[in-house]
Structures are given as structure tokens and as C-alpha cells.
A = this chain, B = another copy of it.
Amino acid sequence: MARTQVPLPLTYRLLNHGPATLVSTRDGDRANVMAAQWVMPVDFDPPKLAVVLDRTTYTRKLIDASGVLAIQIPERAQAQLTQEVGSTSGAERDKLAAIETFPGDVLDVPLVAGCLAWLECRVAHSPALDEVARELDLFVVDVVAASADDRYWRGKGIALDTVQTIHHLGGGRYVLSGESVEARR
């Protein structure tokens, strides 16, 4: 699989339409992956995302230690994988043992193969951001590198006529991305 680097100011276009994501991280010899639907861009350039990382998860524990994470976008064929990594804990079993990964380009994070795009991120810090993270599990992260599967990146966005993203409705039910429409200016 060949990847294209996505220019940082365009990375919001990977997530703008609200797809489910996989969040992976590594801290030393411990690594994990979970599902996260509550992820969205909050700034274009330099790109920032907001993401909810529940305090009860093992992934959150590792991110609190490492400060880095990858947010990647699964496609339709990975709905089952997404549901599975989202409903089991890395504290109980090594979820990545059975999942093919490859190394981040910039950060020491495992990227999940088969996704349509990958965003490597660092947790942003300030006294206010740290307090909001502590109180609400709501983190702001800086995107430091992004790439997409060559087959699905078309210069300015994901070619959603050739691949479908999955969007979690709740309870293991997902809606797929459908037809695209253009509004008149």
C-alpha cells in the first residue's frame, strides 16, 4: 500500500465529516489501540483536533504517559475491527497482537494498516487545557504529520466515491458515508 503525505493545512478534510476513528499509542514497550467517535478538528493551520479520551481506558493511561497518539480513519471493511477494539480493553489483552501496524513517520506510534488515513498527534498543553482534560477527558492535540492511502486521497480530500467511512451511531450501529452533493455558492 502506497501512502501520500497530506499537507498539514488540509488535514481537517480527513476528519471534517465526522467519521469514527481508531486511536493508537505507544509508551515504551506498551502499545494499544481503541475506537473514538468523539474527535473533530478545532483549527485549520496549524491543525488541531479535539478528542475525548475516557479516563477509564488503557489507551488514555498510555497517552497520559507518552503524550503522543495516532488518530486514523477506518473504512467500511474495518467496522468489525473498530467495534472490537472499542469494546475490549488493552489492560486485559494485547489488542495489537492480531492487528497489522506500521511505524509513524514522525512519532513513535503504531499506525493501523488498512485505514484510509493517519494523523500523528501530540497532546497540547496549557494550564487551562490540562484542567479541561482532567475534568472532562477532553483533549486538544496538535497534528504533526498526516498521510493517506494513495488510492483514496484526491488532492483536496478523501475520494468518498471510492471508499466509505463509518460513523458510530451508538451501540455498535454505524452509518456509512453515502453520496456527495455540492451546494451552490
Where the two chains meet, the residues of A that have a C-beta atom closer than 8 Å to any C-beta of B are 12-13, 16-19, 37-43, 48, 50, 52, 76, 79-80, 82-84, 87, 126-129, 131-132, 135-138, 140, 156-158, 160, 164, 166-185
Centre residue among A126, A128, A171, A182 by max chain B CB count within 10 A? A128
A12, A50, A179: which has the most chain B beta carbons within 10 Å? A50
Number of copies: 2
Q: Are B170 and A12 in contact (CB under 8 A)?
A: yes
Say yes or no: B16 contacts A183, CB within 8 Å: no
Not counting A40-B40, A129-B132, A167-B177, a sample of 11 additional A-B residue pairs whose C-beta atoms are within 8 angstroms of each other reads A16-B169, A42-B52, A42-B137, A79-B181, A80-B184, A128-B135, A157-B170, A158-B169, A160-B175, A169-B180, A176-B180
Bound complex: CA A110 to CA B31 (Å): 48
